[in-house]
Structure 1
Amino acid sequence: MTQLAILYEHPSWFTPLFAALDRRGIRHARLQPDGHFDPTDRDVPAPLIFNRIAMSSFLRSGEHPIFHTMALLDHWRRAGANVINGTDVLAIDASKARQLALIASLGLAIPATRVVHRVQDVAAAAATIGFPLVVKANIGGSGAGIMRFDSMDELRHTVAAGDLPSSVDGVLLVQDYVPARDGIITRIETLDRAFLYAIDVAGGGAFDLCPADACVVGSSISMTAVRPTANLVNAAERIATAMDLDVGGIEVMIDDRDGTARFYDINALSNFVANPLDVLGWDPHERLVDYLIARIEDAR
């Protein structure tokens, strides 16, 4: 029986992972979240399942797999499989509101945020924050579903026109627009709840900052390997531990107004930076494969 199954949707992001597994001779099944499953079926595709479903999958298919995947992973877990970044992780990954609540519960700073599910409540929520602000989809990806507003009139006009962002779960975030110091956000990658590496990302306006895509020809996004302060590393590890995050990235920016480090996003789909040898000088996929091998042994 295959010891590892990888559930994924993006057509190209996982080529480096598959190549690393092949180099190490790790037999694995590559699964797409298509078709159907029987809740009474106790068979699992492998003892260890690695969830790689992206929140941005809704951008590539109107019939996205996000909620179907939550049910499927829970079914496999109940049938006896060990799941990396399973249903509980995916449920937080699929809600920026839950991410922010988790971060704030640890005493860490976040951008001022109001969570709404009715468009008619957006303006009232905005009035408690002030401008400039952004309205975000609760489920987003690659910067999708974010709009900036500089005045109440601008916001009210957009609401009246029906042009606000929409989220596939119907939930929106009204959030203070934080001016990131030097236009930089820091993405701290974790593996098994511990620091793996970090990069400073610039050029995306804190909206479209997908490290897996950022090295494509013509991209305006730049990335630099960094070692964050001990406080930031500790905070990222606390977030990963509280979320029970097996592998994922945590994003933070320094508020240029007061120097506060504000954490604002968790990405359970951490596919690592494109061109890692150029950016980092080493390939984190090898460390990920080491982790997968250890989990395979645990699942035997």
Structure 2
Amino acid sequence: MSKIYIIHENSEWTVHLTNRLTELGLPFEEWHLSKGLFDLSEVPPQGIFYSRMSASSHTRDHRYAPELADNLFAWLGQHGRKVFNGSNALSLELSKVKQYAALTKAGIKTPRTLAAVGKENIIKAAEKLATESFITKHNRAGKGLGVQLFYSIEALKDYVYGSSFDEPVDGIMLIQEYIDSPEKYITRCEFIGGKFVYAVQVDTSGGFELCPADACNIGDLFCPVGEKVEEKPKFQIQRDFNDPIVAQYEKFLKENHITVAGIEFIRNAQGEVYTYDINTNTNYNSDAEKAAEQYGMLELSKFLGGQLAQLQEVSLES
């Protein structure tokens, strides 16, 4: 029997999807690639394959899961299996440099960014950027890895040559202009089947940990000294979001063979949109979805179920 095969390395981020698939009565199987083995002489099972491989896998001691997944995709492709968020999506997931190159090629504005390997070149990159404030981030990231805001070259030197320096797993550190938004939030647009589902406003006043997954949730903002303040959710779905950037994103996803993604942008004081992250292992925040009565994993499950049904129809006809 044909199934939905979910390729991933983090059950904590996948259980919300499998719960929805179970709820809809859809047949599925998880392929957890923290380790693995596949025989190139064998034929893969019939079904559709959906990848949730993450750039941050190395933070969970799954250093080579993406490499294993990419080679698995080649085997699946050899046998004509349909893979959603396959090799091209994974390539962009693992490299922000590749993300920015693809976005720029599509005419989508990104912050000015320099890539550097080696501590001395990280400093040189910041000097060349020559802005009053800038951020660092890992090229292969996820979960806000390596993202820090600096206001001087000296502060960057203290960090880079200090004991708290966080070495990127691929060796590539990005130095990026800081887009100072008058509103302390970013917007994340969610897409399923290449089509826009909803936009979520993410409060950035508490820092750069912006992963919407419940497992990453650092809690709503609060006053540490107990002063009564109005609670403000970190994630809020924006009702009736309508912006020209959505059409650009949909076109971009189609051209780059990406089926499911969360794309993040920020506006500067002049209202210009800067896109800075594509997450092809997108997660959803349950509190924000409950408040808006919109559910990403449910929509994703319906999409995968529809694709499986199409495959089964073709099999019956042939």
In the superposition, the TM-score normalised over structure 1's length comes to 0.90
- Partners of 2:175 and 2:197 in 1: CA distance: 32
Superposition pairs of residues 154-233 of structure 1, within 5 angstroms: 154-161=155-162, 163-203=164-204, 207-213=208-214, 216=217, 218-220=219-221, 222-226=234-238, 227-233=240-246
Is there any run of 5+ residues in structure 1 with no aligned partner, and where?
A: none
Partner of 1:92: 92
Measure, in 2, the Cα distance between the counterparts of 1:177 and 1:133: 5
CA–CA separation in structure 2 for the residues paired with 1:217 and 1:174: 26
- Residue 111 of structure 1, CA deviation: 1.1
1:142-201: CA deviations, max 9, x gaps?
Answer: 112222221112223333347543222221111011123311100000112211111101
**Paired residue type of 1:293:** G
**Contact 1:146 1:165 (C-alpha < 8 Å) held by counterparts:** no
Distance of 2:310 and 2:34 partners within structure 1:
28
Asked whether the equivalents of residues 123 and 155 of structure 1 are also in contact (C-alpha less than 8 Å), the reply is: yes
8 Å Cα contact 1:7/1:49 also seen in 2: yes
Distance (Å, rounded) in 1 between the aligned partners of 2:128 and 2:107: 21
Supply the AA of the counterpart residue of 2:105.
S
Post-superposition, which runs of at least 4 consecutive aligned residues in structure 1 deviate over 4 A? 214-217
Query: What letter matches 1:278 in structure 2?
Result: K
| Contact 1:135–1:165 (CA under 8 A) maintained in structure 2 | no
Is it true that 1:234 corresponds to 2:247 in the alignment? yes
Q: What is the aligned residue count?
A: 299
Q: 2:261 matched to which residue of 1?
A: 248
Paired position in structure 1 for 2:104: 104
1:1-300 map, 5 Å: 1-38=1-38, 40-61=40-61, 63-129=63-129, 130-161=131-162, 163-203=164-204, 207-213=208-214, 216=217, 218-220=219-221, 222-226=234-238, 227-256=240-269, 258-275=270-287, 277-300=289-312
Q: Relative to 1, partners in 2 of residues 1:284 and 1:146: Cα closer, same or farther, differing over 3 Å?
A: closer
Identity of aligned residues (%): 25
C-alpha spacing 1:188/1:277, structure 2 compared with 1 (3 Å): closer
Contact 1:132 1:150 (8 Å CA) reproduced: yes
Contact 2:34/2:64, CA 8 A, preserved across alignment: no
Q: Which moved more, 1:275-284 or 1:48-57?
A: 275-284
Residues 252, 62 of structure 1: alpha-carbon distance in 2 compared, 3 angstrom cutoff = same
User: Secondary structure in 2 aligned to 1:128?
Assistant: helix
| C-alpha deviation, 1:108, in angstroms | 1.9
The Cα shift of 1:141 comes to 1.4
Q: The residue matched to 2:42 in structure 1 has which SS? A: coil
CA distance in 2, matches of 1:206, 1:259: 22
- Give a deviation string over 1:78-131, Cα, whole Å, max 9, x none: 233211100111011110111111111122221111112333222221122223
**Runs of 5+ unmatched residues, structure 2:** 222-232, 313-318
**Secondary structure of the structure 2 residue equivalent to 1:238:** helix
CA apart distance, 1:219 = 4.0
